[in-house]
Structure 1
Amino acid sequence: MKFFATLLLSLSLAAPAFAATPGVTDTQIVIGQSAPLTGPAAQLGIRLRMGIEAYFKQVNADGGVAGRQLKLVSLDDGYEPPRAVANTKTFINGGDVFALLGYVGTPTTLAAKPLIDQAGIPLIGPFTGAMGLRTPVDPYIFNIRASYNDETRKIVDQFLFLGLKKIAVFYQDDAYGMAGLTGVQKALAAHGLKPVATGTVKRNTVDVAAALASILPAKPDLIVEVGTYTEVAAFNQQALAQGYGGQFANVSFVGSEALAKALGPSGNGVIITQVVPFPFSTVTPLVREYQAAMNAAGHKDDYDFTSLEGYIDAKVLVLALRKAGKTLTRASLMDALNGMSNENLGGFTVRFSPDDHSGSDYVDTTSITASGGFRH
């Protein structure tokens, strides 16, 4: 009896070792990402993942986080909500993913949100500016980029300053597009105005005929576009072919480099707001660090806004992992994130609190050049 009592005591003392934090071992921390890696929006997921992996490689080469190597597991959702839900279930039910990072898109992330909340698994840096992921504050979702309200307000205010008041909206017919449309409507309402016309496109399609027929007769000075690069390229090219001579402006989610490539010379002058610093300059320490990491990861001179955002997302996560300490739990990670009151990453500041998970309101304005580059 004494032997069995001793054995039971030993097993009870050893129990915590078997109930370890999911995705964390003595040598590794596993992070999950659901993103479009194939399909019409693939470049968004591919480039975001590229920036994340560049930072992870840099950290791992320096010994990891408290001796643990970082591993990113990316699953393709094709920018479709049901697939994002399935991927999230895999991460949660598999029990081998510690946290989530860099989900791409409003409809996909919103679809996964109930699972994230139920499991209590933190998601850092979703690639969306939707207010539905910001208010009310979700304790498990930490937004790093500025909101679509911030971006659309910047666009509207700049054009109204120029005296151009006829503003239309071309938007994706889903939660992402509605978030952008709402942002434009709110920004215009502050000046006693409304959109002169609107038009929609179904996600992952390029059927823009109805949107053109709805918008172009209003002869807008500016068309604010809330879509992905394939949809926007199709709309712009057909609008120009039909004689439109006004201005196009996009929010950052469009995929700047992919849009520039798709438009070619016709992209000259198309405006895109950005939520990260200019990735082609070496003015800020953060961008210099990012460029060096991209070069070391085998992507020499292959810089862009989306991979820089992935790099920033990964850096914020790692800073929080380090603050959370050696005995890592999801609760300690979230405590560390909530304690980031004014974290300067080298020219880009992030702040969180338990009452505010909008990490940044940084918005810049760029435009595409005739050669497919970007003006700042």
Structure 2
Amino acid sequence: MEEAPAPPRQRRSLGLLSILALLVLAAAVAGYATTKVPARWAGVISTNTRAEVSAVATVPSPPARAPLAVASSPDVPATGTTASVAPANAPDPNTRLREEDRAPKFDVRAANAVPAARETGSQTPVQGVTDTEIRFGMAAPFSGPAREMGHQLKLGIDLAFAQANDEGGVHGRQLKLFTADDAYEPTRTLNAMKELYEQNKVFGFVENYGSPTALISVPYALERHTLYFGAFTGAPSLRRDPPDRYVFNYRAGYAEEADAIVHYLVKTRRLRPQDIGVLTQQDAYGDAGWDGVTKAMRTLRGGVSGDVFRMSYNRNTVNVDDAIAQLRRQRPAIKAVVLVATFRAAAKFVEKTRDIYPDMIYATISGVGSTGLASELMVLGPKYADGIICTQVTPAVDSYASVALNYKKALAKYFPGEPADYTSLEAYLTASILVEGLRRVGPAVDTEALVNVLESMQNYELGLGPKVSFGPSDHQALHKVWGTQLDKSGQYHAIDLE
């Protein structure tokens, strides 16, 4: 019987060679992927296990493509990750990827950072921050009826920045302010924000103006994890509970100011709640003041809001004729009006009603622009200014508070000829708190580090009386409301609201 031949050894060798060849091929493809796959996914490959690398390596690699340009169309807002970052290569839409590889991998702290710096381990560049400067932006009215407010806000920030820069800057960096004009029109605010963030490459926003415009600018800043500091508005949309992480306020809210006015009129001036009416601008500013008045009325009436007489006018106009017609029809007649208006409209309302109601009490909140209001009324005559009440979110400009004296001294040094003004004083205080926060962060500035430092700022002495404090659950520096009243010479004097 013939013995069966042994199986050929050639097959076993072929099997081993095939396995070795596959291993070499897998290693080669993995190496290619590490160098050629776009940065968005390459970091994922480098941190996965060998088994995961093998799984990715079996995916066909896309051909190399030219780098993508960052979109800068005015109609499409850039996100925080793309405004200053261009990906190395675009992923092939035909390439199959795992779900975890499809999601972008980035640290919130480095949202605006250049990828190459992160990969090499060097210090992460931050938009608006260089070795020599830190850039901030402000969207405000520099044209239209509210342009004086934009001028005063810019003046106050420039004043605080000039002081800091003369002292060597913040850790050797000079502070610079860039402005964009939205004319206090929400339809122009988005373009103003894009100009500042995408063209001027600002690090954050400081002292933006207005409540209706904030409904556009705040979401824009939040989507980009960008600081939105000390806006000139007391609207509740900037005072959420819990607060938005990147939004910080200096001033008391309009609800707090309106509450202080109503309580003063009832407790000190002995009016009944039904004796008080409200003139409001037809937008978020007017609504915020109206809500404050009605809440105060509800408190005084034991939880029952009751009827509150309301008049209104259109933003960026001085046409208050319809409001005055409502006032003349009101029965019984009211004895006081809370003006939630800008200074020109408020002055026009006083002008047209003062002779009809000579005993009327007029009270405004700080959003009116108190210096502008005084100037407008004095042009009309002393009787129009006399007795007008205005709440403030700063000490009286003509007071001997140390912060008011320091402000006026700096104003005379850097901007001689500019008069002291409540609006520029507020902006000066806001920017001074921001500068202190930047100093506490240290040389390595980024948004997250600054937010953490601000949230830990407690009992900072600025010379205001109450001390400045923030916390994770409270992003408003002060809750204090000061009272002032105009005399016949157009000067404000402090009054006790309590």
TM-score (normalised: structure 2): 0.71
The answer to whether the 8 Å contact 1:350/1:360 transfers is: yes
What is the rounded CA distance, in whole Å, between the counterparts of 1:29 and 1:233 in structure 2?
39
Question: Does residue 1:164 correspond to 2:282, yes or no?
Answer: no
Where do 1:287-306 residues align within 5 Å? Answer: 287-300=404-417, 302-306=419-423
- The answer to whether the 8 Å contact 2:230/2:430 transfers is yes
Equivalent positions of 1:296-375 (< 5 A) are 296-300=413-417, 302-348=419-465, 349-375=467-493
Contact 2:179 2:196 in 1 (8 A): no
State the 1:359 CA deviation: 1.6
How many angstroms does 1:18 deviate by? 8.9
Say whether 1:51 aligns with 2:156. Answer: yes
Q: Tell me how far apart the structure 2 counterparts of residues 39 and 18 of structure 1 sit (CA, whole Å).
A: 44
* Farther off after superposition, 106-115 or 295-304: 295-304
Give the drift of 1:343.
Answer: 1.4
Judged with a 3 Å threshold, the aligned counterparts in structure 2 of structure 1 residues 14 and 239 are, in CA distance, closer, same or farther, namely same
Aligned mates of 2:433, 2:493 — CA distance in 1 = 28
User: CA offsets, 1:152-197, max 9 Å, x none?
Assistant: 1111111111321200000000000000000000001111154541
Shift of 1:267: 1.4
Is structure 2 residue 380 aligned with structure 1 residue 268?
A: no
TM-score by length of 1: 0.93
Distance 1:12 1:344, change over 3 A: closer
Structure 1 equivalent of residue 258 of structure 2:
152
Contact 1:171 1:199 in 2 (8 A): yes
The 1:206/1:347 distance shift into structure 2, 3 A limit, reads closer
CA distance in 1, matches of 2:306, 2:287: 15
TM-align CA RMSD: 1.8
Task: Report the AA paired with residue 320 of structure 2.
Answer: V
Question: How many residues are matched?
Answer: 366
The structure number with the bigger radius of gyration is 2
Aligned CA distance change for structure 1 residues 15 and 194 (closer, same or farther; 3 Å): farther
Structure 1 residue identity aligned to 2:182:
D
Deviations 1:101-135 (Å, cap 9, x if unpaired)?
Answer: 00011111122111111001011101011112102
Alignment check: 8 A CA contact 2:318 2:345 kept:
yes
Q: 1:86 to 1:17 in 2, by over 3 A?
A: farther
5+ residue gaps, structure 2, are 1-34, 36-115
State yes or no: 1:237 paired with 2:351.
Answer: yes
For 1:9-48, list aligned pairs within 5 A. 20-48=125-153
Alpha-carbon separation, structure 1, partners of 2:306 and 2:391: 21
Contact 1:130 1:148 (8 Å CA) reproduced: yes
- Measured after TM superposition, the shift of residue 90 of structure 1 is 2.1
* 1:16 to partner: Cα distance: 6.3
Judging changes above 3 Å, is the alpha-carbon distance between structure 1 residues 157 and 335 closer, same or farther for their aligned structure 2 residues?
A: same
Give the whole-Å Cα distance in 2 for the aligned partners of 1:30 and 1:221.
49
Q: Are the aligned partners of 1:216 and 1:239 in contact in 2 as well (CA < 8 Å)?
A: no
| 1:209 matched residue in structure 2 | 321
Q: What code does the residue aligned with 1:150 have?
A: E
Contact 2:396 2:493 in 1 (8 A): no
Higher RCO, Cα 8 Å, sep 6+: 1
Q: Letter of the 1:293 partner, please give it.
A: A
Q: Name the CA distance, whole Å, in 2 between partners of 1:195 and 1:233.
A: 26
- Comparing 49-58 with 91-100, greater Cα deviation is found at 91-100
Q: 1:36 to 1:17 in 2, by over 3 A?
A: farther
Question: What secondary structure does 2:300 align onto?
Answer: coil
